[in-house]
Amino acid sequence: MSRVLTLPLTMTALLFSASACSNPSPVNTDADSAAYEEKQNTDSESIASSEKPTFATKTIATFDEPWAMTALPTEEGQSPILLITQKTGELFVVNSETGVKTAVANVPEVAYGGQGGLGDVILAPDFATSNDIYISYAEAGTGSDSNKFGAAVIKATLTGLDTDTPSLQASMPIWQQVPKVGGKGHYSHRLLLSPDGQYLFISSGDRQDKTPAQDMTGNLGKIIRLNTDGSAPEDNPFAKDTNSIAKEFWTVGHRNVLGMVFDDTDRLWVHEMGPRGGDEFNLIEKGNNYGWPIVSNGRNYSGIDIADHDTRPDFSAPKITWTPVISPSAVSLYHSGNHDDFPAWQGAALISGLSSKALIVVDFDDNNGAAERYRYNMGERMRSVLAVDGRVWMLEDGNDAGLVQLVGE
């Protein structure tokens, strides 16, 4: 099934000035949503429509509460086989051309509820020979941690891919959030390998408890960097810290990071959900503090203001902030390959949006800057986006959610 979208243009920056490179690029930090949409429609009238790619969407399959996806290696010219997680605890092998999906057995038991459940899935760097994958999920505590929860990451071997009964075997614990806390929000637990395949990055949310993001005795509110076996690299910024858990930290002061990506020059970027306003797109640099909950370009849900980033230059400021929020849920870097459906997106970050119901295209520059280039109204809350070999797939959010392919026009 396919449908053609009406695609309003957002092009907040085509060229980067020196000031845009050194300061955050705010998107509507003072106006309300209606004014924002009006401004974007005005922008679209001033730019030739030929400069913005258009596409239709083709629904491939449907899922209940999907959360993440990744692609298996395929031979040249073949449609990718995807691994897709459902928050309720299922992992599927999915043919992206036919939509046929096969459940994987022996997935770990998850603590489903709120924002918790089965999370991210990525391939190990040696997947071609080992069939190993990494999976994140929310787990329940036991004993003194009863009625408390935290994220965990395991490594497992995906067997039986050429059968009707694929399964996870030889599961090995890699990492877990410490401490476990009550509530079921802000796990983050996004996974990413470094471009050289040597390191595993994990986003660890603040679990809606704010203060842990600045607490060096726990790993909540941090970006984690590990060796692929789960050990802490000796060159991590806090490797010599007397507190052993800090040895795994790469950066601190984060709220809820649901997207991580390396750009073409191997810079690490993440998007982060703000509170009431102030979603962020951050350049992640070794050992830096990103300020949460001390600073934010948003405010508390109670309406009480939070000091803006520019009041504390000792903290790393975001390169982009969004108010109203876009609720960024995932990010993928677009590259042409055997296909080149969207040449205008080459080297750009594609971000899926929940409350914004959008696909946001962000460009990078050579001076550590970034800016939103296009925004597409998808008409549904979008949970994930994945660019593979010059083509793009997205996952809608919630029940009966579509896996849709973007078909260039």
Q: How do residues 262-310 score in pLDDT, each as one tens digit? A: 999 999 999 999 999 999 999 999 999 999 999 999 999 888 899 999 9
Tokens of 130: 């080992």
Distance CA 326, CA 279 (A): 7
Name which of 132, 115, 116 is nearest 124 in CA terms: 132
> Has residue 22 got a pLDDT over 80?
no
Dihedral sign of CA atoms 128, 129, 131, 132 in order: negative
Distance CA 34, CA 355 (A): 14
Tokens of 227: 């060796």
> Has residue 14 got a pLDDT over 70?
no
Say how many C-beta atoms besides its own lie within 10 A of residue 399's C-beta.
Answer: 11
- Looking at residues 167-192, what average pLDDT do you find? 98
Q: Do 310 and 318 touch, CB atoms closer than 8 A? A: no
Q: Do 258 and 328 touch, CB atoms closer than 8 A? A: yes
Read off the DSSP letter of residue 22: H
Q: Among 21-30, 192-201, 241-250, where is mean pLDDT lowest?
A: 21-30
Q: How do residues 80-114 score in pLDDT, each as one tens digit? A: 999 999 999 999 999 999 999 999 999 999 999 99
Which string of DSSP letters, residue by residue, matches 246-295?
GGGEEEE--S-EEEEEE-TT--EEEEE--SBS-EEEEEE-TT-B--TTTB
Distance CA 378, CA 351 (A): 12
Distance CA 165, CA 303 (A): 51
Side chain identity at residue 398, one-letter code? G
> Has residue 19 got a pLDDT over 60?
no
- Which residues, 6+ apart, have CB-to-CB distance to 133 below 8 Å? 83, 121, 122, 123, 124, 127, 155, 156, 157, 158, 168
> Has residue 117 got a pLDDT over 90?
yes
Name which of 154, 221, 141, 225 is nearest 183 in CA terms: 141
What is the per-residue pLDDT for 242?
74
Q: Is the peptide bond before 328 cis (omega within 30 degrees of 0)?
A: no
Residue 26 confidence class, pLDDT cut points 50, 70, 90: very low
Rounded to the nearest angstrom, the gap between the alpha carbon of residue 102 and the centroid of all alpha carbons in its chain is 24
Q: Do 308 and 376 touch, CB atoms closer than 8 A? A: no
Read off the DSSP letter of residue 204: E
Which string of DSSP letters, residue by residue, matches 326-355?
--EEEEEE---SS--S-GGGTTPEEEEEST
Rounded to the nearest angstrom, the gap between the alpha carbon of residue 355 and the centroid of all alpha carbons in its chain is 15
What is the per-residue pLDDT for 208?
96
What is the per-residue pLDDT for 34?
37
H-type alpha helices, 122-217: 127-130
Distance CA 383, CA 72 (A): 20
Q: How do residues 345-367 score in pLDDT, each as one tens digit? A: 999 999 999 999 999 999 999 99
Residue 24 confidence class, pLDDT cut points 50, 70, 90: very low
Q: How many helices (H) and strands (E) does the chain have?
A: 3, 26
Beta strand 358-364 with 370-377 is: antiparallel
Beta strand 25-27 with 320-322 is: parallel
Question: What are the strands of the beta sheet with 188-193, ordered from one edge?
Answer: 188-193, 199-204, 222-227, 249-252
- The catalytic residue among 186, 189, 254, 309 is 186
Name which of 407, 396, 408 is nearest 63 in CA terms: 396
Q: What does each C-alpha distance from 99 to 1, 56, 70, 94, 161 come to in angstroms?
A: 12, 17, 15, 6, 16
Determine the 3-state secondary structure of 116 from DSSP. strand
> Has residue 165 got a pLDDT over 50?
yes
Catalytic residue flag (residue 186): yes
Average pLDDT, the chain: 89
- Which residues, 6+ apart, have CB-to-CB distance to 67 below 8 Å? 85, 86, 87, 117, 118, 119, 120, 383, 384, 395
